[in-house]
Amino acid sequence: MYFTGVDIGSTMTKVVLIDESDNLLSAIKGPTGPEHRQLANEVMRQSLEQAGLQIDDISYIVATGYGRLNVPFADSQITELSCHARGVSSLFPNVRTAIDIGGQDAKCMKINNGKLTSFVMNDKCAAGTGRFLEVTAATLGVRLEDMGDIALKATKKIQVSSLCTIFAQQEVVTLLSRGENLENIVAGLHDALANRIAALARRLGIEPDLVLTGGVAKNTGMVKAMKESLGCELLVPEEPLLTGALGAAILAKETYMKAVVVGEDLPTKSRRLEKATFFS
């Protein structure tokens, strides 16, 4: 049996395909565009091709993320918070706190035995998200993927006092005109973002093990800044972008197995054929 999780986030879309033993058979990720349905179709097609399977081989599919309602071939939808909690705990069984920093929001989650118990989110302002680094990278004229390495070369952190992304852009321009070192400015930007998210996490309460996920967790400078702001060690998955899709795939398996035990309705053969037609 095979199970799939599709996570359509604000900036990236991810698909994970596993078997009944939670073995990873394929993992696909790509930028989220305006056409969620077309994108979901394409990444699912790539995932099936990578695993050497057909759509009607899949026993159950769960969609999650902002675009979860735009995955027409999904059997059910589950919130990204529950999927992230399940995915993180599958990688780090002792996790109690998880911080997910995405392109458009930041989530701090308390987890107990793989289940979400409480959370806080920053989803109203770009200043506490990956968008903050994206915008300021453009202002500095550097690539977003280079920001972390640049920050690690700093000799000091230039304080960036503006919490608003737009005002931070203006502050960066002023710092550059004063002749401040690029590396030190970038380190200051990472520190400002880390302090904002750390304050969010402290509102929830931090318990080890603490795990950092999301696209920003791939930024080594941000991982360092978060450790310093939180004053504790952080665990980071090998591929921090995939935790939501992984959790969705595991929940797809658990939903299917539970339905088998209690005799609930399962996706029918006609439903499988409908999905196969969608991918033809």
In whole angstroms, give the CA distance from residue 49 to residue 224: 37
- Asked if the model's pLDDT at residue 223 lies above 90, the reply is yes
Confidence bin at 161 (pLDDT 50/70/90): confident
Q: With 0-12 CB in 10 A as exposed, 13-18 as middle and 19+ as buried, what is 45? A: middle
**In the chain, count of helices (H) and strands (E)?**
9, 9
In whole angstroms, give the CA distance from residue 268 to residue 21: 23
In whole angstroms, give the CA distance from residue 179 to residue 60: 57
- Asked if the model's pLDDT at residue 66 lies above 90, the reply is no
Helix, strand, coil percent values for the chain (each to nearest 5)? 50, 20, 30
Strands (E), 32-176: 58-64, 76-77, 97-101, 106-112, 115-122
Confidence bin at 183 (pLDDT 50/70/90): very high
For 226-275, what is each residue's pLDDT tens digit?
999 999 999 999 999 999 999 999 999 999 999 888 777 776 555 655 65
Question: For the residues 168-177, what does the mean pLDDT come to?
Answer: 87
Confidence bin at 12 (pLDDT 50/70/90): confident
Q: What is the pLDDT of residue 26?
A: 96
Q: What is the pLDDT of residue 11?
A: 82
**Among 95, 125, 97, 94, residue whose Cα is nearest residue 109:** 97
> CB atoms < 10 A from the CB of 222, how many?
26
For 21-54, what is each residue's pLDDT tens digit?
999 999 999 888 777 677 888 889 999 999 999 9
- Domains of the chain plus CATH, in order, are 2-84+242-278 (3.30.420.40), 94-236 (3.30.420.40)
In whole angstroms, give the CA distance from residue 62 to residue 131: 27
In whole angstroms, give the CA distance from residue 102 to residue 130: 6
Q: Which two tokens stand for residue 5?
A: 């999780």
> What's the predicted TM-score (pTM) here?
0.89
